[in-house]
Every structure is written in C-alpha cells, then in structure tokens.
Structure 1
Amino acid sequence: MTNSRWQKVALAAVVSAVITSMAGCGKAPVAEAPVRAVKTVVLSETGGSLDREFAADIHARKESRLGFRVGGKVSARNVELGQSVKEGQVLARLDPQDLQLGQEAARAGVVAAEANAAQAAADLKRFTELKAQGFISAAELERHAAMTKAAESALKQARAQAGVQGNQTAYAALTAPAAGVITAVDVEPGQVVAPGQPVFVLALNGPRDAVFAVPESQARSTRALVGKKNAVEVRAWGTDRWVRATIREMAAAADPVSRTFQVKADVGTDGFELGQTASVKVLAALNNREGVRVPLHAVAERGGKSVVWTLDPQTYTVQPQVVTTGDIVGDVVLVTKGLKPGQEIVVAGAHVLNPGQKVRRYQQPTQAGNKS
C-alpha cells in the first residue's frame, strides 16, 4: 500500500471520529431571559392614574408687603434679610424733623382755636345780657351766636388736625404688624421713599404652602384634587421624607407666558423652611374620553409602528399592543386607539422587553421616615 493511500485512510478515520464526537454532544443550554421589573398602571374607566412630580417652592400662607404710611428720608434700617421679627418691632425709621414741625404747628393751631372759641363764648354771654336789657336787636345776638358756633367748630377741626399730625409723626417708625420672617428688603438709609412704597416683605409665622405649576394637560385632573385631604405628597429638597399634603388653592386662569396653572398645597408648619425647594408628587388621572394619556416613554416603536406593552396579570408576560398616538404635551402622549379600560400597561422598563417575556411589578423600596 502506497503512502498516499495510507494518508487517505488515516484522514478518513480522523473525520469519522470527529463526526462521531459531534453527534454525541448535545446542544448547549439556552439561557432563559431574565425576569424584568417593570412599573405598570391599570387603565380604568377614567383612564387610570399616573404619578407626576413637580418642582415647588415653600412660601408662607400669608405675606405682607410693608411700607411707610408717610413719605420721607430713611434715617435707619434695623433688620436684615431673613431675620425673624416680633410683633411691634421697629423695622426702619424716617427722619422725623419735618413731621415734628408739622405736629408743633398743629398744636399751635389748637391753642389759637381754643382762644377764639373762649372769646366767642364770652362775647355771646355779654350780648345775651344786653339783649335782655333791650340794648341790641335779636339779629345782632343771632350773629354772635353763629360766630360762637363757628369758633367751636374751628376748635374741633384744629384738634382733629393735630391728632392726624401726631399719627403721622408716629408713622415715621415702621413696625412689624405680626411675628414673622423678613423675606425681602428694598430700602437703605438715606433713601427717600413715597407713602405706601413697599420696602419690606414679611412672611407671617404659621401654615406654609408648597407652590408649584402644572401644565394645561393636567389642569383638569389637578383641579379635581383641590380640597381632597392628602391628595399629594411633598418632599423637601435633600431629604427622603415624603409628607402628605392637601391642595388648598389652584389658579383659575393660566399664566399668560408659561401657560401653566399655579397650585398651592398646604404643608403645615413642620419640616419646611421658607424659600426652600421641594418636590410635589401628584397622582394624576388619565382621561379616557378622548383617549388615554400615558407617559411618552411607555410608547415604543416596533416594526415601524407605535406599540405599548401590555401585561397579562395571569401569566405575568408582556405583549406589544399596536396603538395610534395623538398630540404630545411635555412627556405625556395621547393614545387615541389601541387601549381600553382594564388593561395593565408598562410605563417604565418597556425598552428592554421582548414578546412573551416574563416580568414582575416594580416595588418601590421602603425608606425610613416615610409616612404610610
């Protein structure tokens, strides 16, 4: 047997052994898809609900813009921005020189009016005696009686004017009408101010509000929460503690520039500082009359079509549902066709899903200090 023939036989044996070895090996196990955690929402007859967060500022329930009741030159400012003040505390003073001169002039007017009134009363008494003796006519007596009444009225006027001038002199000191915190200062010593010009903003002690704005797309659902106890949650910036609050007030008209509605939520008096930044979580209803409004990130594209992932609560698997979308406002999209009440849709985590994939509902970790 030639060498070439032996080489062919050896090659055939090797090939046969390789084929036999491959036939004996089973297929490699296919790794199962991981069970993804997804956030879902169930669509009800009203379209379900969706948590939305908004940035807010903490304001006092009552704020007063304070100004002098008289004009003049500011001689002293006794408080600084952010300072706590007590009721009746002097905040600033005007130069009282001109006011004091006016008060002295008014007092001198009172003295003069008192002298005129006394003289008129004495004259009336004498002329009354003369009339009784027949030395003067009744008309002359009536003239002196009228002069006496005029003098008495002038005295009353002078006293009232002196009282007004005395009050104006007292107005040279601007005092706090109630206890609170100075949140704005717009005056310096030497500045000349007009009567009523705001120079301080005083945030009165007491209940505080979280003030935020909602877009027009959520105005109706937010307005339905006004007055409902614990309808929203508020968290101060830099903390993990959510506090339940009640929407106390909502603007009747949208802001002409931002086209948003201002909302005020009552947060009470504990845990929030004036001017502090906060987050407000609102449970917004999704309107199902004209369609369903869902988060923009709940809608994905598959095969050139818009889809929303629906969850089967029996098998905990998801399937893509083709939908027709409408207007987009902010991060919310209107789904006009493809969804119906009772369906549970994925609103977070849809970008990593496959048809038929098993999932589990996302559970938010419980944080110490949260209120149930």
Structure 2
Amino acid sequence: MNYETSTIDAEGRLLAGEAAPPPRWRRWAIIAAVVVLAGLAVWFFLAPKPAEVDPLKGGGARDQQIPSISVAVPGSDTVRTIISGTGSLAARREMPIGVVGEGGAVTRVMVEPGDWVSAGQTLATVDRSVQTETAESLAAQVRVARADAELAESELKRAQQLVDRGFISKADVERRTATRDAARARVSVAEAQLAETRARNRRLDIRAPAAGLVLARAIEPGQIVGGGQSVLFRIAMNGQMEMRAQLAENDLARVRRGAVADVTPVGATESVRGEVWQVSPIIDPQSRQGIARIALPYAESLRPGGFASARIVAGASVSPQLPESAVLSDSQGNFVYVLNDKDEVVRRDVRIGEVSDQGVSIASGLTGNERVVLTAGGFLAPGQKVKPTLVKIER
C-alpha cells in the first residue's frame, strides 16, 4: 500500500495536495471490534445448547402446563324417586247433613264452621211445640190403656174364683180373658205410637252422624227447613283431609298405594306428611292426567278447596350421585370423565337416573369408587394428564 507524504509548515498547517495518515486510535477501535465479533461467533457455534423441554414431560415446564382439576369419589347413596304434582285439597270423607225428620222452623244453631263435634251432637234444633203436645196426648192414651188392662185383669181373676163355685160359666171366664188380652194389646199399640212420636220429635234435632270438623253451615235461626232440602252442614269425618294430586300418565303408573308424600299448601312454609290411599283407575283423555289421592291428618294449613303441591316418593335405589356439572353429553350420549392410576382422563359412558336438587343419580356406568372430574370437563380430552385435587361432595 502506497501513502502520499504530506508536508506541514512551521505553523502546523497541512500543505495542499498531500494526504494525511489515519489516526492511531481508529485502527485500535477497528481491531477491538473485529476481536469481539470473532469471540461472539466462536461462543455461538461452540457453546452447548440447552436440551429441549417437552411441555407434558419435564420438571417446571410440565408442572406449569398440566391443569389442576377438582375430583371426587361419589360413593353410593340411597336415592329416592320423587314425583311432583299439584292439585286441590278436600275432606277425605265429607258428610253432608240435612233434615231427617218432618222439619219446621229452626230455633237454635249450636255450631260454627271450624268447630269440632262428637258423634250424635246436636247441631241445630227445630220448633217442636205441636209435636210435643201430640206426644203428651199419646202418653195419656197409654195410661188409659194400661188402666183398662188392669181392670180387665182384675175382673178375670174374680171370675176364675167364682167359676169353681158355679156362680158363672166357663164361657164368661173366656170372654173376660179375651177382654184382658185386648186391653193389653191396646196398651202395646198406645206405647208404640208414643215411641214413634217421640222418635220423630228427636229427629227434629239436626245431629252429627259422626265426630268431625264442621266445614260449612247453611242454616240460621228462624229458617224453615224440611225433608229433601239442600245440605245444611258439611262435616269432615274425624277431620281427615286429602289432596287430589294431578299427575301425568307416566308418573301415575309409578305411584303405588301407601307411598309417602309431603304436601305443601299454597302460602304455607311447612309440609304435611301423608300417604297415597287411592290411585285413579282412569286417565282423562283430554289432559292425559290421573289423580292420586293423598290422605292427610288434620292441620290448620289444610283448607278444603285450597291448592297445594306434593312430592311423592315412588321408590328408592342405591346409586352414585354427582353434581350436574360433572355430567356431560354429546352425540354419543351422557358421560363423565374419570381418572386412572396415572392421573389421565378417561371417558366413561353413564346412564342418568333421577335428577333432583341434590344432584344427578347415575343409574349405570359407575360403581361410586372412581375419581370423577367435577368441573371443567368440557376443556379436557381423553388421555390428557391432569393434577387432581380431591374434594368432598356436599349433600
């Protein structure tokens, strides 16, 4: 390489037409930069490369990629089959009561709706002034007939004493015997008429045929009542009530007599325990429903004519029970995810039983000893490894 020489005058100025030599510091900077670049190249090509880490197989990276999920071992519980229905309340045995006798003007009414009455208790009375006088007249006739019968008996005894002495004939004795028998018969007739009148008078009182709860009253003092008139009182025998639950045709087929039921009237906070005592033998062709009649003990909240809901226990079975979030479904049916010994997700097809507020019962597909994924099942795939957290299912 050729360099032009330069000349500097006495004042230090560069003479024109001659090139200046490069500064020394610039050469050293270029050399240092080349050395650094060479060192970086050597380090890049010769330094050991870190091993690739599988996100599903490895230490920290694997732990960061494996999802944590909640699992539970459901076990087996007794799951009741509950059928819900609605319907009206009524007296189980309602007794309509009217006038039994001839009737007349009502003088007194002794009971009100809501009162408890005993068998034979008087509910209302009817005026009997005329009937009382008639009974007195018949009682007098009975006394007359008895006196005639006593006189005939005395005459017969005297005749029997005289016939032995020959003062009267046997024919006279026979006539007096017939007279005595006729007098006795008249006594019996008079007593029977008196008893009939007294019985009719007793029927003027309107009485309860059996013990129970008065539901309705349609009679007031001064009212004229007679035989064949409309119902004056309604009584629930022994206070027993019932609910007539309307059930769908399929549900009615599963209900049996004696099934336990909890009935909750509208507006009440507590239910009343009863049992099904009759299942309708027919189905309404229009609504496709039938009636299950539930016998209930007396309770203040049970008012005939009111509306109520019922939960009928139609059966029970022992099976696992899971929250609804654990049960998934697709085109192949219902299924759950369980974990194997390696904490890998496994699909398990199941058949659902009863669905209630407590969860979903599994009719088949699980024994209850598996670890079942409770939530986030929709984000998992069969064979995926997970980090399980065991929790307890709240019942």
Name the TM tier (shorter chain).
0.5 to 0.7
Out of 312, 334, 343, the residue aligned to residue 351 of structure 2 is: 343
Q: Contact between 2:274 and 2:295, CA under 8 Å: does it hold in 1?
A: yes
- Closer, same or farther in 2 for the Cα pair 1:151/1:237, shift >3 Å? same
Distance 2:233 2:285 in 1: 27
CA–CA distance in 2 between the matches of 1:162 and 1:257?
Answer: 59
Residue from 162, 166, 177 that aligns with 2:194: 162
- Aligned mates of 2:332, 2:183 — CA distance in 1: 96
Q: CA deviation at 1:75?
A: 2.3
Does residue 194 (structure 1) correspond to residue 227 (structure 2)? The answer is yes
Residue 106 (structure 1) aligns with: 138
Tell me whether 1:239 sits opposite 2:247 in the alignment.
no
Q: Does 1:266 align with 2:295?
A: yes
Which of 140, 149, 154 pairs up with 2:172?
Answer: 140
- Whether the 8 Å contact between 1:85 and 1:176 is mirrored in structure 2 is no
Identity among equivalent pairs (%)? 24
Question: CA offsets per residue over residues 209-248 of structure 1, 9 Å max, x none?
Answer: 22334455544322xx2123x2x22112123434443112
Match of 1:282 among 298, 312, 319: 312
Amino acid at match of 1:234: V
Q: Check if 1:115 corresponds to 2:159.
A: no
Deviation, structure 1 residue 104? 1.7
Deviation at 1:253?
5.3
Please say if residues 104 and 224 of structure 2, whose CA atoms lie closer than 8 Å, have aligned partners that are also in contact: yes
Partner-residue secondary structure (3-state), 2:301: coil
Indicate yes or no: 2:102 matched with 1:71: yes
* Letter paired with 1:237: V
Look at both structures and tell me which one has the larger radius of gyration over its CA atoms.
Answer: 2
Alignment match, 1:36: none
User: Cα–Cα, structure 1 residues 75 and 115, in superposed 2: closer, same or farther, change >3 Å?
Assistant: same
User: Does the 8 Å contact 1:52/1:283 carry over to 2?
Assistant: no
Deviations 1:350-372 (A, max 9, x none): xxxxxx9949xxxxxx9xxxxx9
Deviation for aligned residue 1:129? 2.4
CA gap of 1:358–1:205, structure 2 versus 1, over 3 A, is farther
Separation in 2 of the partners of 1:251 and 1:132? 83
Contact conserved, 1:316 with 1:358, CA < 8 A, in 2? Answer: no
Indicate conservation of the 8 Å contact 1:70/1:196, yes or no. no
Deviation at 1:96, TM superposition (A): 0.6
1:82 to 109, 113, 116: 113
Kept in 1: contact 2:85–2:247 (CA 8 A): no
Gaps of 5+ in 2: 1-79, 316-321, 334-349, 357-375, 380-393
Deviations 1:292-326 (A, max 9, x none): xxxxxxxxxxxxxxxxxxx9x9973212479xxxx
Q: List alignment gaps of at least 5 residues for structure 1.
A: 1-47, 286-310, 323-341, 349-355, 360-365, 367-371
Aligned length: 259
Q: Does 1:220 align with 2:249?
A: no
| Alignment partners' CA distance in 2, 1:183 and 1:160 | 38
Task: Give the SS at the match of 1:221.
Answer: coil
Kept in 2, the 8 Å contact 1:71–1:195? The answer is no
Counterpart Cα distance in 2 of 1:156 and 1:128: 25
Offset, 1:284: 5.5
- Are the counterparts in 1 of residues 96 and 231 from structure 2 also a CA contact under 8 Å? yes
**Distance in 2 separating the partners of 1:83 and 1:319:** 58
C-alpha deviation, 1:123, in angstroms: 2.2
Q: 1:248-259 counterparts in 2 under 5 A? A: 248-252=277-281
* Whole-Å separation in 2 of the counterparts to 1:259 and 1:315: 35
Taking a change above 3 Å as real, the CA distance of residues 84 and 50 of structure 1, as seen in their structure-2 partners, is closer
The CA distance in 1 between the partners of 2:378 and 2:214, in whole Å, is: 58
Cα distance, 1:121 vs. partner? 0.9
Q: State the TM-score, normalized to the length of structure 2.
A: 0.53
Could you say what secondary structure the match of 1:133 adopts? Answer: coil
| Matches for 1:8-23 after TM superposition, within 5 Å | none
Contact preservation (8 Å) 1:124, 1:145? yes
The residue type paired with residue 234 of structure 2 is V
What are the equivalent positions in structure 2 for 1:173-192 lying under 5 Å apart?
Answer: 173-176=205-208, 180-188=212-220, 189-192=222-225
When residues 346 and 98 of structure 1 are mapped into structure 2, their CA distance, relative to the original with a 3 A threshold, is closer
Report the Cα offset of residue 128 of structure 1. Answer: 1.4
Q: 1:269 to 1:315 in 2, by over 3 A?
A: closer
Partners of 1:345 and 1:215 in 2: how far apart?
19
Equivalences for residues 288-299 of structure 1 within 5 A: none
Q: Residues 190 and 207 (structure 1 numbering): CA distance in 2 closer, same or farther, change over 3 Å? A: closer
How do 1:204-219 and structure 2 match up within 5 A? Answer: 204-214=237-247, 216-219=249-252
Opposite residue 318 of structure 1, the aligned amino acid is: S
Deviation for aligned residue 1:136: 3.6
